[in-house]
Structure 1
């Protein structure tokens, strides 16, 4: 269960840095990702944890 949790929590921030994944250099180079990226990633993680926790409760993982 910890592996699933860690894998899911790694996904939201992958496009917020220039080394995260394929299209990230385009976003980073065009200054699309600024200071707001941190706040967006925190919000995204909060949604993942809330929805994921409820879903895990529904399917019996938690």
Structure 2
């Protein structure tokens, strides 16, 4: 029983870390989009310039 409780506690702390990582990356994306808007870029262009979006023409050979 104690092992099960310890496992549950471990899972809770692991889930907490994952949630903070997700929120940090979300905040980073928002920051990039906001900076792009200040420079009169679309959200797509700002994210592409930051390297989050790759050019489909470069990825796929036609």
TM superposition score category, shorter chain reference? 0.3 to 0.5
How does the TM-score come out when normalised to structure 2? 0.39
> More helix by proportion, 1 or 2?
2
Of the two, which has the highest radius of gyration?
A: 2
Q: Which has the higher contact order (CA 8 A, sep 6+)?
A: 1
